[in-house]
Amino acid sequence: MNVFDYLFDSTQNLEKDFVLGPKEKISFKKLHEDSLKVASYLKLNVGRDQNIVLISPNSVFFITAYLGILKSGNVCVPLNFSIEQENLDFIVKTTDCKSVFMARSLQSKQQLDNSVKCIDEAVLEEIIGHQEVVLFDLDFDKNSLAEIIFTSGSTGAPKGVMISHQNIIANTQSIIEYLSLSSEDVVGVVLPFFYCYGLSLLHTHLRVGGSIVLNNSFIFLGSVINDLKKYKCTGFAGVPSHYQILLKKSQNFKNTDFPDLRYVTQAGGKLHNVFIDEFVESFPKIEFFVMYGQTEATARLSYLPPNLISSKKGSIGKGIPGVSLKIVNKNGDPVNFGEEGELMAKGENIMLGYYKESEETKKTIVDGWLYTGDIAVADEDGYLYLMARKKEIIKVGGKRVSPKEIEEVILSIPEVVDCTITGIEDDILGEAIKATIVLNSQMDHEKMKEKVLMRCSEKLSLYKIPQQIEFENNLSVNAAGKKIKK
């Protein structure tokens, strides 16, 4: 089955609005008709199995183009709309892309070769206005490639994660199941659709007949809070920085009543316990889902049920429906509970592999199991706890240090909004520890430094205390809201 047909299986004729918001609206029926016309155009003019780049902020334009590409049997390559020209050139060339859907607002920043056809909002409207819908083969291979999502590679060059139609179907069904999503749900979307977490919101709500509220301006906290209330959002999804900013930077958030908000979800990195506690204490009736995933797993791998948020504090939970997780040592053998090892995952949501990187794929997927690169430990009940990324472990004088442990201690100081722990070269210890801290107000840095060191000396072993402390004015985040480690 083509994922397009799966997503619209029971919603294609709904007159209800799928996209809500002050700027744009579109019904399920209109979206289905428009994206079918785009798919028909692509089938006639591009063919199939071609890589088609899509660059746009969240919008009806993005959604229509995305769904049309999937239905046409071509491969969608959604890219960060603030992508550097060098990376755009690399991806267009590597994927042999001949057609690009690009929002007009971005065309002055992103340059395309003359041989590449650019389709913007005006061209899309022309296609919708004139294209007749053609027939599509019902016999479609669900394991064929649907999209390539590029992430940062270890060599510096972007790395393409290949996701199949079945990958999306399997992951979407699992997420719908554990979040108990229905046609009554409305989710506030601040996550960009070029990011797998953002795409999962699009997939799940399109499938169940729910609605999405697009807000591309998270920095304006008031507009996000107003949208959640005005459109009676039942759900909100964010990465750690979103919750840190809402809790520490907004004057009104914790004092606002959200009568329709049933649940919130958090993924895209570890949100430290101090922030989760603060949210749960402020909004005891709103279910808080801690989740864990990777682009290589389409989006989601595990979740912690809200009722265990206190008893299993810090856990990423267990595998979502249809996903198996295990922890192995360096020899690939399963470890006992309480022992650290690398987390591995298996399920129908695991990627096909890395685009044009067969050797990297062979190292990452072994016998159907995905090596996540995350160090984890399981408790006696089987609940999982992430300790660190393999690459993030700092070795101080030969001792292994997890940045998350130190960050948790420093973030317990009320004035601290964010803390990033990194390793820096040290002639004696091999690596020393550096803390980069963001405060919620203008404070004397020397006094705060003393306070940080005092708290660390109370809670941590001597070798875990930062040797360097640096203060910054704001969180450094990328377009997906995820923290950038310098």
> Residue 405's pLDDT is what?
83
> Residue 459's pLDDT is what?
87
Q: Could you tell me if 279 and 372 lie in one domain?
A: yes
> Residue 156's pLDDT is what?
58
Q: Could you tell me if 95 and 228 lie in one domain?
A: no
> Residue 452's pLDDT is what?
96
CATH code of the domain containing 460: 3.30.300.30
Helix or strand (DSSP H, E) at 167: helix 165-179
Read off the tokens for 316: 């990423």
Read off the tokens for 273: 């316990």
Residue 83 has pLDDT above 90, yes or no: no
Q: What is the pTM of this model?
A: 0.86
What percentage of the chain exceeds 90 in pLDDT?
77
Of the spans 261-265, 269-273, 392-396, 474-478, which averages the highest pLDDT? 261-265
More confident residue, 66 or 396: 66
In a domain, 263, yes or no: yes
Mean per-residue pLDDT for 185-208? 96
Q: Could you tell me if 127 and 144 lie in one domain?
A: yes
Mean per-residue pLDDT for 64-93? 94
Q: Could you tell me if 127 and 197 lie in one domain?
A: no
Mean per-residue pLDDT for 158-182? 97
Residue 428 has pLDDT above 70, yes or no: no
In a domain, 70, yes or no: yes
In a domain, 358, yes or no: yes
What single string gives the DSSP state of each residue in 295-310?
GGGSS--EEE-GGGTT
Angle made by CA atoms 259, 299, 79, in degrees to the nearest 5: 100
Mean per-residue pLDDT for 31-44? 98
Of the spans 174-178, 269-273, 446-450, which averages the highest pLDDT? 174-178
Do 234 and 184 form a contact (C-beta atoms < 8 A)? yes
Q: Which domain holds residue 125?
A: 3-12+26-161
Residue 283 has pLDDT above 90, yes or no: yes
Q: Could you tell me if 63 and 134 lie in one domain?
A: yes
H-only helix segments in 249-395: 273-282, 358-364
In a domain, 330, yes or no: yes
451 DSSP 8-state letter: H
Q: Could you tell me if 357 and 405 lie in one domain?
A: no
In this prediction, residue 248 has a pLDDT band, given cuts at 50, 70 and 90, of: confident
In a domain, 166, yes or no: no
pLDDT in tens, 370-379: 999 999 999 9
Q: Could you tell me if 380 and 415 lie in one domain?
A: no
Q: Assign residue 332 a region (left: φ > 0; alpha: ψ between -120 and 50; beta: otherwise).
A: left
Q: Could you tell me if 147 and 250 lie in one domain?
A: no
C-alpha torsion angle, residues 241, 261, 323, 370 (rounded to 10) = -10
Do 271 and 240 form a contact (C-beta atoms < 8 A)? yes
Residues with Cβ < 8 Å from 12, sequence gap 6 or more? 28, 29, 32
Residue 154 has pLDDT above 60, yes or no: no
In this prediction, residue 477 has a pLDDT band, given cuts at 50, 70 and 90, of: confident
Nearest to 190 by CA among 226, 140, 161, 152: 226
CATH code of the domain containing 120: 3.40.50.12780
In this prediction, residue 469 has a pLDDT band, given cuts at 50, 70 and 90, of: very high
What percentage of the chain exceeds 70 in pLDDT?
95
Residue 389 has pLDDT above 90, yes or no: no
In this prediction, residue 137 has a pLDDT band, given cuts at 50, 70 and 90, of: confident
Q: Could you tell me if 381 and 461 lie in one domain?
A: no
Do 371 and 328 form a contact (C-beta atoms < 8 A)? no
In this prediction, residue 403 has a pLDDT band, given cuts at 50, 70 and 90, of: confident
Q: Could you tell me if 146 and 196 lie in one domain?
A: no
> Residue 390's pLDDT is what?
66
Q: What amino acid is encoded at 72 in this protein?
A: S
In this prediction, residue 429 has a pLDDT band, given cuts at 50, 70 and 90, of: low
- What's the mean per-residue pLDDT of the chain? 92
Order of strands across the sheet that contains 145-151:
117-119, 99-102, 51-55, 75-79, 145-151, 159-164, 353-354
Q: Could you tell me if 152 and 234 lie in one domain?
A: no
Q: Could you tell me if 58 and 152 lie in one domain?
A: yes
In a domain, 477, yes or no: no
Tally the domains of the chain: 3
Mean per-residue pLDDT for 242-246? 89
Mean per-residue pLDDT for 245-253? 86
CA 85 to CA 80: how far, in whole Å?
11
Least confident residue range of 146-150, 156-160, 198-202, 443-447: 156-160
